[in-house]
Structure 1
């Protein structure tokens, strides 16, 4: 008997919403407000435009735009045709963006004037959303029902590429179906929820946790402008979101900003991800704004999230919470055997959200996908209640005179100083000890601190072998496009002779 493949549940979201509640709000971006019916119509219109350029099932569609509604409608339009989408960070150089577009075999680039020039250079089609003439509806008809099926590739998300060329993470519709369903269950999302989209839409977090999950639950998405401490709380008070997701740097900036009365009554919770957030900062944010902060952990390779602290029930600041519904998380030794509770090991993940693999890279895929488990490369500890703490990256381990040092221990000590906004610790080669830790610190706006003060703090709070050889105080530290500190640049600086 031939099995009939079902239409992707996530690809059908615009049309399911339009049928159930056509006049309910769906997507807001500045002055643009789309209800469910208008959202479905916009998806159909963009699908027509994509089809007119030759996009068909199995193709890839590149999108290079700053955060705006068209990224979301294009994603669903691509899925409507059975195609995938690869979101391109507009901050990339033409060479970097061209690599992603070429590597993903994108047949069309949706963008602005710059995108049109790049597409012409690459010899592919382009849809310029800023060209009002081309915005007119085209004659080609598209199928009424989305063509995408569960095993079809939905997103090609590129890793940050801090140590090598970025890799394309292949997420299929079944991955996104499982991830969005898990987040809806964990956060108890419903039609009453509104997501304030703070994080970039060229990253899986913004697309899946910030967009796909609330839309699946019947809620609304508000695309926020570029983050600023001067305007952020005004957006919260105006749009009344029930949650948003941000990175530790954003929370640190909110914590350092001048105090004013803020109406946070609409917020049910705030999410932190992308990098570990100091427990002290979580406590300060919760006490100051009266909203739970739920820190989570995940990777693009697991369709964004693996563990998150619960909203209701015990939240443990300093941990990244418990495994999400439908996922298994374990901590293993180098041979792949689970370690005892409370001991360090590599974090591994199993479940329907784990990627199909890296695009065109079978060897790299085989290195991280073993026996159905994704090996994260992160060092973690599981406690007796199943809460995960991320200790560090395996590759970031510093061995000083035979003693193992996890940089996060030093970073946590530095974060405890009230002037410290960001801290990063990397290893530097040493002719005697093999390697020594060197710290880089950025201060909060208007605050100052000396290297000597921070070294004294480390000497008081850490074992002697963990105290950094040096601490460099700077105005800012290098970060990638999603706000995660890029230690590779700091290592390169030290390697080049910096001290």
Structure 2
């Protein structure tokens, strides 16, 4: 039996009245949470949801998503969380591709479920304190049962379903607990969306498994964020670089961060200068990490208590191997640049229904990330860029991240993104897009001069465009695809 599926019931047996899950004004203790999971599992059983089926949930961040996940696992089913900002067509694609047997959600999801002929559960019933029957037997999920079907962002082609079994998620959550020494004294403030691995595994599951509790935050706002921290007293939260940049730029008062042991940054590279500024200003260690959904969230993270190297994404997490390899797959020594590969029990089972793509990405047990990195002599990984994002200008290789880091060094820059643009003579040239910090004005000429002072001439952008804001996905990650100009016909 999977130890993950038993978490609510182990907690309820050990400390029935202990805090478990907070969502707005609602607080569920361990006993109430365990009962809610059993009640929803019974509902799934009555609807014919069987072991091996997939349960979908279409909701903004809320405690019901967590309850749905554990209820699905109780039945031996997998959970596929759906991004609520997707269009109906995009939602239908995920529901059909994952062969969802039931959809949990609101009125919108009822109409979608009806149109597809699948069962529907009203979100209002998930935590309803009624007398509906519970499933009293033990959960049935096994280690090799699928636990999560997480869909990639689909920047190229249709989104792919990443298949993670209980063994993957078990290994990942155990690794995070060990690395961060999580305990019952910890409280996670959930900032990131629950349709991604980061929110589900790092933000929720690891804290609950360690005996701590979880606070589900409302939609992020810099105007109210520190109020949440001061009210709920979390010991950690995980966010993306954009959130940290906005907090740094928009916070105008003193914030009480004394409850925080550390904060985590992932999903995209964070400028070293911003890390240092945030740590100094708010007095909390900011540890940057790196990982993919295909690796169940995280593979490297900087230590909380040990040496943190700004500009790196830290060392390999317990139970994982991280290496850098040449184009032919041969390992490279420290200091050499190559593709980052990952091996461990956290590596996905594969892409749903895509065996050829799975075989291209997972070879001989190693997950090939498509990221370019360098591992130093101490084992710290620095991500250079995406292989596919590399710009070749007149035969010279340019990594956009290097230019972006230079731009972030300008005091007026809030966000920066560099992409390649076709050029009739040079093949490609770098073009930079920048958003200024609130209250600051900066010109393209000023930014070009700033780059020219620090970068080789061939790395200086051919053009800089200053915009009010840069395009982002629902997690807050910059979307470069929307900045790239189409190739000339």
Secondary structure of residue in 1 paired with 2:124 = coil
- Any idea what SS the aligned residue of 2:158 has? coil
* Matched pairs, number: 489
Whole-Å separation in 2 of the counterparts to 1:133 and 1:179: 28
Structure 2 alignment gaps of length 5 or more: none
CA separation in 2, counterparts of 1:78 and 1:119?
Answer: 17
Deviation at 1:133, TM superposition (A): 12
Cα-to-partner distance string for 1:155-182 (whole Å, 9 max, x where unaligned): 0000010111100000000001100000
Task: Map 1:155-194; keep pairs closer than 5 Å.
Answer: 155-194=148-187
Find the partner of 1:488 among 473, 481, 484.
Answer: 481
Q: CA deviation at 1:340?
A: 2.0
The partner residue of 2:344 within 348, 351, 354 is 351
Of the three residues 231, 254, 258, the one matched with 1:261 is 254
Partner of 2:121: 127
Query: Which one of the candidate residues 35, 38, 43 is aligned to 1:44?
Result: 38
Does residue 276 in structure 1 map to residue 269 in structure 2? yes
Shift of 1:313: 1.2
Question: Cα deviations across residues 96-146 of structure 1 (Å, max 9, x unaligned)?
Answer: 11101110000111010111111111111111113699985545x535211
Q: How far 1:488 moved relative to its partner?
A: 1.1
Would you say 1:241 and 2:241 are equivalent positions? no
Report the secondary structure of 2:321's partner residue. Answer: strand
Contact kept in structure 1, 2:413 and 2:435, CA below 8 Å: yes
- Paired residues of 2:222 and 2:251 also in contact (CA < 8 A): no
Q: Is the 8 A contact 1:381 1:391 kept in 2?
A: yes
Paired position in structure 2 for 1:318: 311
Q: Residues 407 and 425 of structure 1 are in contact (CA less than 8 Å); yes or no, is this contact kept in structure 2?
A: yes
Q: Deviations over 1:29-80 (max 9, x none)?
A: 0111011111100101111122222111010001000000000000000000
CA contact (8 A) 2:36 2:127 kept: no
Please list the CA deviations of residues 340-365 of structure 1 after superposition, one character each: whole Å capped at 9, or x if unmatched. 21111000000000000000000100
Shift of 1:495: 3.8
**C-alpha separation between the residues in 2 aligned to 1:338 and 1:159?**
28
Gaps of 5+ in 1: 1-6
Aligned to 2:91: 97
Alignment counterpart, residue 286 of structure 1, candidates 260, 279, 284 = 279
2:430 is the alignment partner of 1:453? no
Question: Quick one: distance in 2 between partners of 1:467 and 1:169?
Answer: 38
Structure 1 residues 321-340: Cα deviation after superposition (integer angstroms, max 9, x where no partner) = 00000000000001111112
Q: Give 3-state SS (helix, strand or coil) of 1:285's partner.
A: helix
1:419, distance to aligned residue in structure 2 (A): 1.5
Runs of 4+ in 1 over 6 A off after TM superposition: 131-135
Question: 97-106 vs 48-57, which deviates more?
Answer: 48-57
Kept after mapping to 1: 8 A contact 2:303/2:314: yes
Contact 1:45 1:137 in 2 (8 A): no
Partner of 1:4: none
Instruction: For residues 362-395 of structure 1, give each alpha carbon's deviation from its aligned partner in whole angstroms, at most 9, with x where no partner exists.
Output: 0100000000000000000000000000000000
CA drift of 1:212 comes to 0.3
Corresponding residue number in structure 2 for 1:224: 217
Distance 2:17 2:131 in 1: 22
Q: How many Å apart are 1:196 and its aligned residue?
A: 0.2
Q: Is the 8 A contact 1:113 1:130 kept in 2?
A: no
For residues 462 and 486 of structure 2, the distance between their equivalents in structure 1, rounded to whole angstroms, comes to 12
In the alignment, the residues of structure 1 paired with residue 235 and residue 66 of structure 2 have an alpha-carbon distance, to the nearest angstrom, of: 20
SS at match of 1:130: helix
Whole-angstrom distance in 2 between the partners of 1:133 and 1:292: 36
- Deviation of the 1:185 alpha carbon: 0.3
The TM-score with structure 1 as length reference comes to 0.96
Q: Which of 388, 391, 399 is matched with 2:392 structurally? A: 399
TM-score, normalization: structure 2?
0.98
Matches within 5 A, 1:397-436: 397-436=390-429
Once residues 159 and 360 of structure 2 are traced to their aligned partners in structure 1, the CA distance between those partners, rounded to angstroms, is 16
Does residue 57 of the first structure (1) align with residue 51 of the second (2)?
yes
2:289, 2:299 within 8 Å by CA — same for their partners in 1?
yes
Correspondence for 1:145 = 138
RMSD: 1.4
**1:149 aligned counterpart, secondary structure:** coil
Aligned in 2, Cα 1:395/1:35: closer, same or farther, shift over 3 Å?
Answer: same
Q: Which moved more, 1:67-76 or 1:260-269?
A: 260-269
The residue number in structure 2 matching 1:32 is 26
